[in-house]
Amino acid sequence: MALYEYVTPEQLSGFDKYKYSAVDTNPLSIYVMHPFWNSVVKVLPTWLAPNLITFTGFMFLVLNFLILSFYDFDFYASAQGYSHVPSWVWVAAGLFNFLAYTLDGVDGKQARRTNSSTPLGELFDHGLDSWACVFFVCSVYSVFGRGESGVGVVTLYFLLWVVLFSFILSHWEKYNTGVLFLPWGYDLSQVTISVVYIVTAWVGVETWYLPFFWNIYYRDVFIVMILGCLFTVTLPMSLYNVLKAYRSKTLKHSSVYEAFLPFLSPLLLFILSSLWVALSPTDILQQQPRAFYLMVGTAFANVTCKLIVCQMSNTRCQPLNWLLLPMAALVLLILTGLLNQSETGVLYLWTGVVLLAHVHYGVSVVRPAQNVACGVYPTLRERWY
């Protein structure tokens, strides 16, 4: 399918004027990770394509998800009385997660080092980042699971949405200000998750059964960290940056409606998926949490990728993602009780449709976008590294 079926002529025209702009003020990133990534990129061969680095890092997260799906499909493996995940899996998970984080940090440096920055780079990098959210959230959930000392699947569903909302906040900032303010929580969370995996391999999941302090369990620390990053850092900084742009009259969208338009599709996705969870006749989230999380996370990634295209081309955000229309019809059928006997099958079918639709969208946009990298269109991606 041609690129223009997903990216309009107006957006293609906007690409010609695009320049990547990002700001990172996180001390962990500036003083620790960037020096480390600068050292790593020097050992990479110059023939190694930046987009291949990006894709390889993403696949490490997918591999983590698949391995833990095999050993802990329903998130009960860490609970008392169940067969636990082998220690080697936690070691592999820690290494794979840190490798994914490292490769995500060096891909842009490799692009600049080899003078191969392209418009495909940002779309590919940030598009995969949006999809990666669901994979690393589901993987780290296996550490605590849904046992007595773990986290309930409904609680994790809302925590997943906190992570997704935190991700899209940064791109909402860029949509309105033209600058991507990188969130502090990302670097801290990735380093912490990698350490937690390794510690779990060493001490065993039984350690997380005990209170951390007084009657506070480690799962409570896990929840507080996710909520704390959003409400004390990410959200306040996002609102501040957008308000600052408004006061300096550099805000790209003057009306409140246009400024908040990127939240429309994610909000509708949240409402539809939450209705399904709340009114499911078979309590689908309790029965199939992993499939449900994957469906929600992939649909969210599709919404975000289209927002990234609008950012790059300085065009108006699409009000409604087409995936939401059949999903709304599906949720309506489920709520009327017509699919009571086959709700699990319907979830798997719809998850498959969403996965195929998102992969098709990605391939259909990325493949023609390589023309930009080959010089058919001007170079757009100027990484900040």
Q: Active-site residues: which are they?
A: 126
In the chain, where does DSSP find H-type helix?
A: 9-15, 27-28, 34-42, 50-71, 87-113, 119-144, 153-177, 184-203, 218-228, 235-247, 256-260, 264-279, 284-287, 289-313, 324-335, 343-373
Residue 334: closest CA among 237, 326, 180: 326
CA pseudo-torsion sign 212, 216, 222, 225: negative
Which pair of tokens denotes residue 334?
Answer: 């489920």
Would you give the distance in Å from CA 385 to the centre of its chain?
Answer: 21
8 Å CB contact between 2 and 367: no
Calculate the CA dihedral of residues 171, 112, 43, 37 and round it to 10 degrees: -30
**Residue 117 DSSP class:** -
83-89 CB contacts, 8 Å cutoff, 24+ apart: 84/204, 84/205, 85/142, 85/205, 87/201, 87/202, 87/204, 88/201, 89/201
Q: Which residues pair with 217 in a beta bridge?
A: 211
CA angle (365, 56, 62) in 5-degree steps = 90
Q: Which residues of 185-213 are buried (b: 16+ CB within 10 A; e: fewer)?
A: bbbbbbbebbebbbebbeeebeebbeeee
